[in-house]
Structure 1
Amino acid sequence: MSASTVRALVVTGPGRAEVQEVPAPVAVPGEVVVDVERVGVCGTDVEFFTGEMAYLHQGHAAYPMRLGHEWAGTVSAVGGGVDPSWVGRRVTGDTMLGDRTCRRCRRGHQHVCAQRQEVGIRGGRPGALAEQLAVPARSLHPLPGAVDAVLGALVEPGGNALRAAQAAAVGPGDRALVLGPGAIGLLTAMFLRAGGADVHLMGRTEESLAFARDLGFAHTCTEDTLPDLPFDAVVDASNAAHLPALALDLVEPAGRVVYIGLAGSPSRIDTRTLVLEDVTAVGVLSASPGLADTIAAYASGAVDPRPLVAATVGLDQVGAVLAGERVEGAGPGPKIHVDPTRI
């Protein structure tokens, strides 16, 4: 790497990714440059690698792409109009960057702005799978000392999970069921447990359920072994097209169903059940409104997602991870992290 370039992972087409030297980001007015310390790989990144991600077919994204939206790092430069005290601070940032002028943005909903960029996802905004990243200063969230780089790169998925747990609106004396013990499902279960709910998890494989039990979730099952219990809330964190309907069938009347998982094909629910059983259904898209509270939960120790990270690799190994290869020596967790400085 020279002073004018950085190493970055570039997805050049379906099933093709390589580490390239790309121009180093510049701190333009209103933005900062971050030295990236840790990045999480998630299912969205995999969908871009395989070519299945809907944004590719809707015109919101195009190859070549620079992925990475779950990140932590240290600010190394600031552009014009940015408080210079950001330099040297450890941060993470909001993935969703609204246009700041539309009705949705003015109402505080920049995460659903029709013209939004998404870091490493949408609108050509390069992601964090690189040695450096440029982002607007307004998107930054400072990380306290108790939140290290591992936790910092888990803030974005944690924000999604926190919002799902909040939407479930359960607490002590309530029972919640989470469908799908992947990273988001397990994080949601952790936040539900921190709020006092009795948490059950449904998965497909014994390996994933055994890992959930290792995290302290004693109540696990498969679809075939679901207990005959009333669930005050059901969170669908899966990618199975039939589970949104099952979630609605399983929730107690006057309960809540939260949809945070996305299937590759359309899902269907019977709205007659929704109405006749007075069920509240909530969809969760983004971590944006939950980032600050997630950082606080990690800092206090109320939620500790570190065990979810199975392995940490360098940029040169990311292509294999996106292709579904298991990292040698990886633990049982569902999340792979990347250290862009590792060779």
Structure 2
Amino acid sequence: MRAHVLTGPGESAVREVPVPVAVPGEVVVDVERVGVCGTDVEFATGEMAYLHQGHAAYPMRLGHEWCGRVTAVGAGVDPAWLGRRVTGDTMLGDGTCRRCRRGQQHVCERRQEVGIRGGRPGALAEQLAVPATSLHPLPDAVDPVLGALVEPGGNALRAARAAAAGPGDRALVLGPGTIGLLTAMFLRAAGAEVHLLGVDPASLAFARALGFPHTWTADTLPDLPFDAVVDASTAAALPALALERVEPAGRVVYIGLAGTPSRIDTRDLALGDVTAVGVLSASPGLAATVAAYAVGEVDPRPLVAATVGLSQVGAVLAGERPPGAGPGPKVHVDPRLP
């Protein structure tokens, strides 16, 4: 089968690789759609920390935001999965450690991560093999575009729920990228008044086009009380700004990751009686995200600027916008295309 293989920083190609086999406990999926993520770009540049920590190594196959249809099941897997459209959890715990036994496989020390960690191939290929226990079924109302947005949506839903902002509350989201905009959508659906802070005029204009009129830069951010602040940026200085701008007894949520260490003053945290929450993965929020998409609680499809084939993945990872791309921050890949 065809797959996009990353062989080193800035080095990748579409190659013929062996088709996956449905070993016991696993299924094989025909991939319909894959999202390209900032994590994928970090692997492509060689900056991803896992490469330097021994958790990942080239060559590797990226792709952890995906959906598709089950075409084969291994021994011990319910045959009812055959033919079903699914997405899957990125985090695959060992199933035996204390964290996994407590239902927290997404922080298992020995976990694999699909397309990211532990040598588990990702979805930038015509087919993908994953454990049946990681699957989440997709109803007909969740089309391939939405299906490949379940994983980032799960992260955002968890961030929005951690912010605990609803009617009468004002929330500030730092960073109007994919995760920031998805978080804003879930906060809006919960009834909160949502504000976004960014640096790029185009991304802020896009946020306004999605129905978020309160968009700001650092120079224009008004002196308003924010009951919750979500840092969905990659800027090392913004975690401190989040703590600075949140109301006493409010909540700050950290889901963005900077390339260098961030610093906050925990005295501000304690003296403000502020609750701080970190969000690592979508795992605990996947099922709720599928349900939210299915009933139209949020519709993130406008975030997808373009859909390309495997042969264009290298250019996308290098930062090129596909011809005719829309204003959204996300690019999808259909492995069935050239």
Cα distance, 1:9 vs. partner?
A: 0.5
SS of alignment partner, residue 321 of structure 1: helix
Residues 244-297 of structure 1 show CA distances to partners (whole Å, capped at 9, x for unaligned) of 000000000000000000000000000000000000100000000000000000
Aligned partner of 1:173 among 150, 158, 168: 168
Q: How does 1:87-106 map to 2 (within 5 A)?
A: 87-106=82-101
Q: Which residue of 1 aligns with 2:232?
A: 237
Q: Which residue of 1 aligns with 2:62?
A: 67
1:51 lines up with 2:43 in the alignment: no
Gaps of 5+ in 1: 1-5
Q: How does 1:107-256 map to 2 (within 5 A)?
A: 107-256=102-251
Cα distance, 1:179 vs. partner?
A: 0.2
Query: What CA distance in whole angstroms lies between the structure 1 residues aligned with 2:312 and 2:82?
Result: 30
SS of alignment partner, residue 17 of structure 2: strand
Cα distance, 1:37 vs. partner?
A: 0.3
SS of alignment partner, residue 129 of structure 2: strand
Cα distance, 1:224 vs. partner?
A: 0.8
Query: What CA distance in whole angstroms lies between the structure 1 residues aligned with 2:184 and 2:249?
Result: 21
Give the residue type in structure 2 aligned to 1:48: F
Residues 302-333 of structure 1 show CA distances to partners (whole Å, capped at 9, x for unaligned) of 00000000000000000000000111100000
Give the residue type in structure 2 aligned to 1:227: P
SS of alignment partner, residue 321 of structure 2: coil
Cα distance, 1:163 vs. partner?
A: 0.1
Residues 84-135 of structure 1 show CA distances to partners (whole Å, capped at 9, x for unaligned) of 1111000000000000000000011000000000000000000000000000
Gaps of 5+ in 2: none
1:317 lines up with 2:299 in the alignment: no
Q: CA RMSD in A?
A: 0.4
Q: Which residue of 1 aligns with 2:328?
A: 333
Q: Which residue of 1 aligns with 2:22?
A: 27
Could you tell me the TM-score, scaled by structure 1's length? Answer: 0.98
Aligned partner of 2:11 among 9, 16, 27: 16
- Structure 1 stretches of 4+ with a deviation exceeding 3 A read none
Residues 2-51 of structure 1 show CA distances to partners (whole Å, capped at 9, x for unaligned) of xxxx1001000011111000000000000000000000000000000000
Residues 216-269 of structure 1 show CA distances to partners (whole Å, capped at 9, x for unaligned) of 001000011101100000000000000000000000000000000000000000
Could you tell me the TM-score, scaled by structure 2's length? Answer: 1.00
Q: Which residue of 2 aligns with 1:3?
A: none
Query: What CA distance in whole angstroms lies between the structure 1 residues aligned with 2:69 and 2:143?
Result: 11
Query: What CA distance in whole angstroms lies between the structure 2 residues aligned with 1:100 and 1:113?
Result: 9
Q: Which residue of 1 aligns with 2:283?
A: 288
Cα distance, 1:64 vs. partner?
A: 0.3
| % same residue | 84
Query: What CA distance in whole angstroms lies between the structure 1 residues aligned with 2:200 and 2:55?
Result: 34
SS of alignment partner, residue 151 of structure 2: helix
Give the residue type in structure 2 aligned to 1:339: D
Query: What CA distance in whole angstroms lies between the structure 2 residues aligned with 1:237 and 1:65?
Result: 27
Give the residue type in structure 2 aligned to 1:310: A
Aligned partner of 2:271 among 273, 276, 282: 276
Residues 43-87 of structure 1 show CA distances to partners (whole Å, capped at 9, x for unaligned) of 000000000000000000000010000000000000000011111
Query: What CA distance in whole angstroms lies between the structure 2 residues aligned with 1:272 and 1:319?
Result: 45
Give the residue type in structure 1 aligned to 2:115: G
Give the residue type in structure 1 aligned to 2:325: A
